[in-house]
Structure 1
């Protein structure tokens, strides 16, 4: 029979971690962390069945891996190093032990890959599967990045490719055989990779003014990045400079492709701004460190976001995923 005692035993077996930073191990009412002279960053995120994933397209281990990845990405967006995590599982009645075993295989695989240690959690009965993950990160040299600190003229950068995950989700809805490139796009949606190494590098750059991860869409997250900087500031971005993967137009139309790039979300890339006067220094750093980042525009005096495409400039409609209740 599957019950909370089975899950507690399973967790202790898979995550036996103890150290001078975490002396108690898993099992107490709270976790004790010993961290000296350091700032912490803490973030939580939830993955809800039929909102963030469904059981048709996701294996159990993929669900848990994704849940951890998206929470770790929030720590990366602060320029910090993810260290520990807690997971709360809300489990439907009649769930099998096999499913839970696979779920924790995903947690174990990703926690090893991301270098984070499980230090606790909770379980409860639920009408559907919900996974809530809290990640604790450590600020390197007590430095961290925030939203809303950009200034007029700052250069806007984004890591990786934008729109890949949304295009992957679009393809996943079409039942057919996928080629290698399409499988790569689907993987970006199902198994996102938080930018841990890049986040730690960017977090130490004093002339990097603001940062966020692309969770809900490029336009909506760029708008969030700039909100708080000034009510009069906006952005000017160039379509041709936005890094993106070509797709087969037979399955993804030009209009849908544009929507996925500008408002698709789920990429978990890092979007950030750099002081204009230090731009040459940053370009040298990109070359030296071989950073996979692309300049896509600049912080402008116009309110909202202007998009240049094929030499024509328009005001971009802010699009992206929003929870509506």
Structure 2
């Protein structure tokens, strides 16, 4: 009998969803993107996404506080809505806790969750609480978007520029430093916060949704290589990523130096950066960069090519190297 580890997370998802009946006419977008989109009323799409944080799988308590975990659960769901260009509205929370778990810690978790949701005017409208062997929490987030502004993973065209908001490698740097509390590092809390309390690019996503020249978009949660692969697979294209264009935060550069790690590997495979990766008409880059300049920097990091499934890294010396199509997999990572 085949195991979940053998088939992998994405193989399991494909197997589970292959027998779903034909999509209803009001379902614009089902599985396979950052969020689903259904027609709520004329001119309005309802977006929905769900994500979890499970003790021993996504986090260990010695690396993150309860309030930080609540913030993070909110942020990773908000990031999915941002990738669609949408506006988050409502949330439902499913909480599972051991019977001897401290009530105060649950309250601190909720404080962090609600604070980050309140920042975007998101209202918790219900949920569920149950007992479990370990702490786990799942958030279902509902949002809205105009049909003509919806951004999806598919749609990238050969010749498009591949762009990213902010910087890459932050999640890997923050996790590495959190795992090594004895390492002396002057700005430790700033770096660990990259992983513990990430920022969802809601405003950037909403601005980008207004540009017809943005052809495809995804959030960088599984790593640039993995999410770049998802974007290209959805559009049946390939891409070349420019190593010398990868945006790296100075503190991430400093952290990598401390641990002797590869900045390129962190940017490509680290994951949990929650930036937006998007493909655009090259002629629109100037106005898009200007429009987002007050929110977040935007960098061109590659180009879309017609060779389906070909994902390559162009090194600083000009050499091209096939990238591992590596993304976070719950059963293999």
Using the size of structure 1 for normalisation, the TM-score is 0.83
* Counterpart in the other structure of 1:295: 300
Return the alpha-carbon distance in structure 2 between the equivalents of residues 286 and 104 of structure 1.
Answer: 32
On the 8 A contact 1:263/1:318 being kept in 2, the answer is: no
Deviation, 1:144, is 0.8
- Output the CA distance in 1 between the equivalents of 2:286 and 2:109: 46
Find the counterpart in structure 2 of residue 170 from structure 1: 176
Larger of the two Rg values belongs to structure: 1
1:38–1:142 Cα contact (<8 Å) kept: no
Question: CA contact under 8 A between 1:81 and 1:140: conserved in structure 2?
Answer: no
1:206 aligned counterpart, secondary structure: coil
Alpha-carbon distance between aligned partners in 1 of 2:75 and 2:289, rounded to the nearest angstrom: 28
- Aligned-partner Cα distance in 1 for 2:189–2:121: 26
Contact 1:140-1:204 within 8 A present in 2 as well? no
Q: 1:278 to 1:170 in 2, by over 3 A?
A: same
Q: Post-superposition shift, 1:51?
A: 0.9
Structure 2 length as normaliser, TM-score?
Answer: 0.81
Per-residue displacement from partner, 1:27-71 (whole Å, max 9, x unpaired)? xxxxxxx97752110000011111111111111111111111101
What RMSD, in angstroms, separates the aligned Cα atoms of the two structures? 2.0
Q: State the 1:286 CA deviation.
A: 4.6
Where does the alignment leave 5 or more consecutive residues of structure 1 unmatched? 1-33
Between the aligned partners of 1:240 and 1:105, the Cα distance in structure 2 is: 41
Pairing 1:128–2:134 present: yes
Once the two structures are TM-superposed, the CA of residue 224 in structure 1 deviates from its matched residue by: 0.3
SS in 1 for 2:299: strand
Structure 2 residue aligned with 1:68: 74
The secondary structure found in structure 1 opposite 2:168 is coil
Give the structure 2 partner of residue 191 of structure 1.
197
Q: Which residue of 1 aligns with 2:99?
A: 93
Query: Deviation at 1:151?
Result: 0.6
* Cα separation, partners in 2 of 1:150 and 1:291, compared to 1, 3 Å: same
Q: For 2:327, which of 316, 320, 323 is the aligned residue? A: 320
Residue 9 of structure 1: aligned partner: none
CA contact (8 A) 1:166 1:260 kept: yes
Tell me by how many angstroms 1:267 deviates.
0.6
SS at match of 1:105: helix
Residues 1:284 and 1:250: Cα distance change in structure 2 (over 3 Å): closer
The answer as to whether partners of 2:79 and 2:274 remain within 8 angstroms in 1 is: yes
* 1:153 aligned counterpart, secondary structure: coil
C-alpha displacement of 1:126 = 0.7
Q: Which secondary structure does the structure 1 equivalent of 2:62 belong to?
A: coil
- Structure-2 change in CA distance of 1:275 and 1:250 (3 Å): closer
Distance 1:118 1:67 in 2: 13
- 1:243 is matched with which residue? 247
Residue 183 of structure 1 deviates from its aligned partner by 2.7
Contact 2:94 2:129 in 1 (8 A): yes
Contact 1:87 1:122 in 2 (8 A): yes
**Ranges in structure 2 where 5+ consecutive residues have no aligned partner:** 1-39
Q: Counterpart of 1:4?
A: none
Distance 2:104 2:84 in 1: 36
* Counterpart residue number, 1:253: 260
User: Are the equivalent residues in 1 in contact too, given 2:162–2:303 (CA < 8 A)?
Assistant: yes
Whether 1:52 aligns to 2:78 is no
2:231 is equivalent to residue 225 of structure 1: yes
TM-aligned CA deviation for residue 277 of structure 1 = 4.1
Q: Distance in 2 between matches of 1:249 and 1:70?
A: 24
Alignment deviations for residues 163-220 of structure 1 (CA, whole Å, 9 cap, x no partner): 1111110111112255454432210100011011111101111110000000110000
CA 1:282–1:106 in 2, change beyond 3 Å: closer, same or farther? closer
Q: Contact 2:204–2:292 at 8 Å: present in 1 too?
A: no
Aligned-residue offset at 1:291: 4.0
What is the CA-CA distance between 1:248 and the residue it aligns to?
A: 4.1
Match of 1:149 in 2: 155
